[in-house]
Amino acid sequence: LPNRARPDSQGICFLGKIRYSEFVRHHLGVKEGPIVEWETGARKGTHQGLWYHTIGQRKGLRLHGGPWYVVGKDPVENVVFISRQEYLMDHAASRFRAGQAQWLGPVPGEESLHCKVRHGPSLPACRLRPLADEGWLVELERPDTGLAPGQFVVFYRGEECLGSAVIQQVETPGLSD
């Protein structure tokens, strides 16, 4: 890809010098809830709102005895689930359902491609399968620990960007979305 050597911008450009957490706090406020270890059910701390945490996140949890990783969120009960690194792959997913895609050219068939689901250089191999409702089943060659509903997935054939879709459901062992 032409920009692969360029440093990533992980901020939100329209915020300028305002920190993301300050922007979110101003617009969404604070809604405290428990941070719970997935394997034991033990409460490890308190979060300020589900919107501050992403699946796969390690930094910013401010918990002792880590490193800890966010492996799930329950919006109904307002719970953030965490796990230690040695259990992280137990929560990895290799299949997810994406919604209707926005294609830049002809719609690909059932074929092997590459995809990107977050910043960084990784472009894992994937296989696409069209679904009856115009969505797509995406099967990754290797499991990923950071997939979450609401994320975009971008599809590539070689260096050509084909299009994107929003992840709607992740098939994660032992966790529900």
Is 61's pLDDT higher than 50?
Answer: yes
Contact 116, 154 (CB under 8 A): yes
Assigned fold of 92-170: Elongation Factor Tu (Ef-tu); domain 3 (2.40.30)
Q: Domain limits of the chain?
A: 13-89, 92-170
* Spatial CA neighbour of 71 closest among 62, 79, 80: 80
* pLDDT single digits (tens) 100-131: 999 999 999 888 999 999 877 889 999 999 99
The predicted structure's pLDDT at residue 177? 43
The predicted structure's pLDDT at residue 3? 59
- 13-89: CATH architecture: Roll (2.30)
Type of residue at 48: Q
**Range among 10-19, 56-65, 83-92, 166-175 rated most confident:** 56-65
- Please, which pLDDT band fits residue 87 given cuts at 50, 70 and 90? confident
The predicted structure's pLDDT at residue 40? 92
Is 138's pLDDT higher than 50?
Answer: yes
pTM: 0.71
- What is the rounded distance in angstroms from the CA atom of residue 52 to the CA atom of residue 35? 12
* pLDDT single digits (tens) 28-54: 888 999 999 999 999 999 999 998 898
Provide φ and ψ at 176, rounded to 5°: -105, 160
- Please, which pLDDT band fits residue 11 given cuts at 50, 70 and 90? low
Say how many Å lie between the first and final Cα of the chain, rounded.
32
